[in-house]
Structure 1
């Protein structure tokens, strides 16, 4: 999306901020964020604004109705660790910064395609980004093994639609539609990398004007990502949830982002711990090699220790704790912020 010739970026940002403030009440939660029965800890801001992706419902609903379920996995009264599955209304939870920097990040949490992790790889990162001026959108995407007609493409369809909606509503959030990045963790890293390599694939029928916009992210950060759907590199749980127990080589190739990198792939920031016992570090290395072969910009950080799923909370007091600042410094070099 280009800016009108008679409207400079500063004017657009000011106008967008005013519009966003004026419409914040009207744009409050459509489908509420996932909520568990356990009470929420004090002091942690929870999103009050969501955006449903599909105005007439997500396409290709399963024959057997799904029931959205939220499980609180934490036993600590001061820490939440929610997981949600049976997502029938894919949506984004919005974290608005007090002072916008004009950039946005679409966050796709992990969960092995078994569920979507709410806090550890979603809301915590949303708060961190908003505190630094980024408008963050945490995506609750459909799970590929729950009977949707689009099957393994359901999460990608939600990610494409989310990226287009963010751009379509850029003025509401005072963001530059050309500065919308993507970040994903583990299986959410697979969603992120699928978006950054298959942004031009047609995986759903257009529903409104937003679908005329590009789904290509400005830049992408798949973090300790599931990438390969081929053994021995594949994360077996994610592979089975996405492709079933006996996928063909063609199915594996179509859903392995290292094998779908286009010539116009956006810049990538890659991160992995070498002692990851769930998703082999080879996944990140395969994607790096493929991006390099296409002459795409790529920055890669490998840490000796960190395990899997460290996000923010499990990185504390380890060298890998530096990763968010490394990403932010790299993001500046791409023009994101």
Structure 2
């Protein structure tokens, strides 16, 4: 049960936790100057207390690339994650709900600002506690192969729930949101939250990894041609994947009656990830009787996040998500 007493106790615990030293710092480039008024977060949670399982023989090297030429509008991406972790955005007054945000990057990198920190700031300003997930990438040679990012997402959901009191959140009300390839991970988590992708490491792994609701945004979904996004498919399952492997990693093939309610968003002019990815997932959800809200916009392209929506109808999408989430009892 989540009540006012839990909120007060959780807020007190959160103030203590906020003063504790960080674990592995957020991904960053040495020498980068902070953007005025938009300081980077500092609080993190390492997913694996004894290190991530299944380390490659030659571990990747974590590298952050800056893709923007505007110092006031950073567009960083990180690759070579070996210490998967959550970066925490605490609201001033928590509303009791949390969001696990999974940025995209074609499973070759993870976008930091455009699909991570920006939506996290927007949601936390409205009372949501947001955890941005920096997950391991399937092309880096981890033992779990195409399930490695899902392992991190499952573990992240369980850790958030295990520490709900620290963050003044209801452990049941934890949503998943993902963008592009992070949208595939979001769909994967929504449909395969109970799949055994790693050996339990502590008490947190006894908790459910099922999101309360899920929001795949312009998501990669299908691994089958011609709908598949080529770069994400190659990184996840390889160029020559069998039809069986394609189906195993196409979330529409894995929808069950336990899949949580979903909010789907896509632009019909998306030149990178065809809108059919979301349409096929919607059809699979409907076939199982799962509640689904779907918004298709004529214009928007791909990877719009928040910054590329200004002045377009698609600019309304975050508010649409919030209003729909309320109808599901999320906040």
Is 2:122 the counterpart of 1:131?
A: no
Q: Is the 8 A contact 1:40 1:80 kept in 2?
A: no
| Range with bigger deviation, 66-75 or 32-41 | 32-41
Unaligned runs of 5+ in 2: none
Among 305, 310, 313, the residue aligned to 2:307? 313
- Alignment length, in residue pairs? 330
Hey, what's the Cα distance between the residues in 2 that align with 1:40 and 1:25? 21
Among 135, 154, 160, the residue aligned to 1:166? 160
TM-score where L is the length of structure 1: 0.97
Hey, what's the Cα distance between the residues in 1 that align with 2:125 and 2:88? 13
Hey, what's the Cα distance between the residues in 2 that align with 1:35 and 1:203? 29
Deviations 1:106-129 (A, max 9, x none): 000000001000000000011001
Is 2:277 the counterpart of 1:270?
A: no
Q: Equivalent residue for 1:150?
A: 144
User: Equivalences for 1:244-323 in 2 at 5 Å?
Assistant: 244-323=238-317
Q: Equivalent residue for 1:331?
A: 325
User: Equivalences for 1:1-337 in 2 at 5 Å?
Assistant: 3=1, 9-26=3-20, 28-37=21-30, 38-337=32-331
Unaligned runs of 5+ in 1: none
Q: CA deviation at 1:146?
A: 0.4
Q: CA deviation at 1:45?
A: 2.7
Q: CA deviation at 1:240?
A: 0.2
Hey, what's the Cα distance between the residues in 2 that align with 1:235 and 1:97? 35
Q: CA deviation at 1:22?
A: 2.1
Q: Is the 8 A contact 1:36 1:82 kept in 2?
A: no
Q: CA deviation at 1:263?
A: 1.3
Q: Is the 8 A contact 1:262 1:294 kept in 2?
A: yes
Question: Per the alignment, in what secondary structure is the counterpart of residue 93 of structure 1?
Answer: strand
Hey, what's the Cα distance between the residues in 1 that align with 2:59 and 2:171? 36
Q: CA deviation at 1:24?
A: 1.6
Hey, what's the Cα distance between the residues in 2 that align with 1:176 and 1:65? 37
Instruction: Give the root-mean-square deviation of aligned CA atoms.
Output: 0.8
Q: Is the 8 A contact 1:68 1:87 kept in 2?
A: yes
Hey, what's the Cα distance between the residues in 2 that align with 1:208 and 1:262? 28
Hey, what's the Cα distance between the residues in 1 that align with 2:43 and 2:19? 9
Question: Per the alignment, in what secondary structure is the counterpart of residue 217 of structure 1?
Answer: coil
TM-score where L is the length of structure 2: 0.99
Question: Per the alignment, in what secondary structure is the counterpart of residue 286 of structure 2?
Answer: helix
Q: CA deviation at 1:21?
A: 1.0
